[in-house]
Structure 1
Amino acid sequence: MVEKPAPDATRRSEKSRRAIYDAALALVVEAGYRRTTIEGIAARAGVGKQTIYRWWSSKAEVLLDAFLDLGEQAAGQAGQQPYEIPDTGDLAADLKAVLRATVDELLDPRFDAPYRALAAEGVVNERLGREFVARLLLPALELYVRRLRAAQAAGAVRADVDPRVALELFVSPLAQRWLQHTGPISHAYTDTLVDYALYGIAPR
């Protein structure tokens, strides 16, 4: 009698987790954050509610993990090294490239809907807000800090410039315009932000 191999619990758990991520992201795009529920995610993913509650305590936590995973997948499919801004020696070109990629993500409904939901929920949900900042925003900002410090070492940025403040010259306007719908976002817009931030607005 041939013994059947024992079920692989790790593989089953990963399959369920992936289904839950996909369900959460899809529902937020289709129905909006308010109408997305744990019950709905469970039904869409084909799992029981208790499976979700075993790993997460709220739909917000599910969505945050799903969104972070989506970003990692997108970087992998594009053949990019995750969590790094290229250093070609041309600071302006590197910043424009990463901001253009950011615009493309923000204009993609797969990213736009969950990102807006997390940003809004993080304002009223203090615990999620801290997680959102610690796991998503701060690591992203640190990429700019490292790239600007490399530019300082190469003599392309003044030594007395605080990279953490300088990055806000082009990151913060984009975030505000996107979140508050104060104007369109585009590659041309972020290119202009970089030019203004690096070269100023005084006559050259």
Structure 2
Amino acid sequence: MVDGVPDTVSAILDAALEEVLEHGIRRTTASDIARRCGIARQTLYRYWPDVQSVFAALVTRELLAVLPEPHARAEDLAALVDTLVDTAERVRRLPLVDRLRDTDPELFARYILERLGTSQRAIHAELVRGISAGQRAGWVRPGDAAQFAAMVLLIVQSAVQSAPLVIEWLPPERWRRELSLALTGYLRVPS
């Protein structure tokens, strides 16, 4: 785009990711990010008001990058659930998610327990779209698609966040299966 803005934004977020993966959020400063990126700190502040805003943009970018394409349409409930579980697994495997869980659990918890971020709102909107399409096709139970999407978000978010806690009982392949069963049971049309 004009004046290389998208490239600068991407470069800053790439540098922020490298710093956070190496040092964690608490130990990463705007100066660290700017230095790694090869820009002046003031340049970073042209795009974000503070380093916390950079981190929020970074988390949003990383989470949105693993979402399926918006035009992808599931043909049936199994395909929708597979997409949800695949996406949850991609989020679970993000190096940034692991790093936040390990080094900055308070920040991780704030985004899970206290506020809805941009990425969560985008995920909810996509869930509403997919659930509504399934309802129109008759393979998702009738009801308020926005409420169903909120519950699916809670189920998946909890499964992603807490997966390391239960790995002795739910190794990755069983985690996928059990999450799939939970989502299928929640969304399917009753017999």
Please, what TM-score do these two structures have when normalized by structure 1?
0.70
- Determine the structure 2 residue equivalent to 1:90: 76
- Determine the structure 2 residue equivalent to 1:162: 144
Q: Which has the higher contact order (CA 8 A, sep 6+)?
A: 2
The partner residue of 1:135 within 118, 122, 130 is: 118
Structure 1 pair 104/145, CA: closer, same or farther in 2 (3 Å)? same
Structure 1: stretches of 5+ with no match in the other structure: 1-7
Structure 2: stretches of 5+ with no match in the other structure: none
Q: Aligned residues: percent identity?
A: 22
The partner residue of 2:155 within 149, 173, 196 is: 173
**How far apart are the structure 2 equivalents of 1:41 and 1:182?**
32
Aligned-pair RMSD on alpha carbons? 3.3
SS in 2 for 1:87: coil
Matched, 1:27 2:19: yes
Alignment of 1:1-204 (within 5 A): 10-11=3-4, 13-71=5-63, 81=69, 83-84=70-71, 86-113=72-99, 120=107, 123=110, 133-159=116-142, 161-180=143-162, 181-184=164-167, 186=172, 188-199=174-185
Please, what TM-score do these two structures have when normalized by structure 2?
0.74
**How far apart are the structure 2 equivalents of 1:149 and 1:73?**
23
- Determine the structure 2 residue equivalent to 1:3: none
CA deviation after TM superposition for structure 1 residue 123, in Å: 2.6
Structure 1 pair 190/145, CA: closer, same or farther in 2 (3 Å)? farther
| Structure number with larger C-alpha Rg | 1
Structure 1 pair 186/171, CA: closer, same or farther in 2 (3 Å)? farther
Q: When the two structures are aligned, how many residues end up with a matched partner?
A: 180
**How far apart are the structure 2 equivalents of 1:177 and 1:138?**
18
